[in-house]
Amino acid sequence: MVVATPMPIQSEKIKEFDLPIIDLSFDRSVVSKLIVKACEEFGFFKVINHGVPHDVITRMEEESLGFFAKPAHEKQRAGPANPYGYGSKNIGFNGDVGEVEYILLSTNLTSISQRSKTLSNDPIKFSFAVRGYMEAVRDLASEILDRLAEALRVAHTSVFSGLIRDVDSDSILRLNHYPPLIKDSFKDRDTSTLHPHYKPNNRIGMGEHSDPQILTLLRSNDVGGLQISPEDGVWVPVSPDPTAFFVNVGDVLHAMTNGRFVSVRHRALANSKRPRISMAYFAAPPLQAKITALDQFVTQSRPNLYRAFTWAEYKKATYSLRLGDSRLKLFRVVEEDHEIASLDKDLQHQTSFKH
């Protein structure tokens, strides 16, 4: 079994940065430019005055807490997460583990209704909470994507948001519970296989990774643990804020902007004496949607970095790799391809000049 590397280790640097905070109630054009800047510099920002009703958030969090408070044998009935349902410790299909339990839900209404029967003693109430929350965060994600398109002066302002508003959108909701630290949980455990710099009070909840989708909207309670990595070996702790949403760029948006927007790597540590609850909405395109860089992001000096792919292809690659592996590398256009394309253009130019 592949075990997630306990963190931090001596080679890492923990830095404090003033991460972007964007107030969506401010002037639209100003806010749009700030979002673009945040996507370019960090691939991450916090939004306040986001418009998602407090009661919608509260209902969803209460339902999450209610499920995770159940005895283990009851929760197991809703699993395994293949791909939807309940999961614990195991993350994905390739051996990654973490100190987390979670629920993965499709945004499909029929799927939500069916899954709610195994997740709650009151399926109608649970389903109502999930639908209300998903609709609200989808609207917020769409607004952010539309503002990005406006600021970038993309021909069709719905070029991004249309992918997640599509009836066949493959977006998902993930509800996470990071249990609190139990001081004596490692008392009788064989630690010979652990990393030499392992600290029992600093466990990995969810290991380092980037999100494969277009955009992620994350909401958590007031317990810290989220960290982003703006550069290799550097980690920036993100202060919790239950009133805000944290937004990060996913691999698909990175590819569609030809690398201009950064698909930021991040992780979650379970190092608190209090449980951490988070709710992540992963905005994704339909399975057959073709993903390629928009024309305005491809120039002679910056040729296309990635070959075109469908979301189904990319999703398959995601499931085939470990959590921390780079999926985008599999779709990168090699330098030789760029050189050949350049030579072809020169030859065409020379031929047209002769004629």
Residues acting as catalytic residues? 276
Amino acid at 267: R
Using CA atoms, how far apart are residues 268 and 238, in angstroms rounded to an integer?
10
Q: Are 280 and 176 in contact (CB under 8 A)?
A: yes
Written as one string, the DSSP assignment of 205-272 is EEEEE---SSEEEEEE-S---EEEEEETTEEEE----TTSEEEEE-HHHHHHTTTSS---EEEEEE--
* Secondary structure element (H or E) that encloses residue 54, with its range: helix 54-68
In this structure, the strands spanning 265-270 and 203-209 are antiparallel
Q: Nearest-CA neighbor of 327 among 243, 248, 250?
A: 250
Using CA atoms, how far apart are residues 255 and 298, in angstroms rounded to an integer?
11
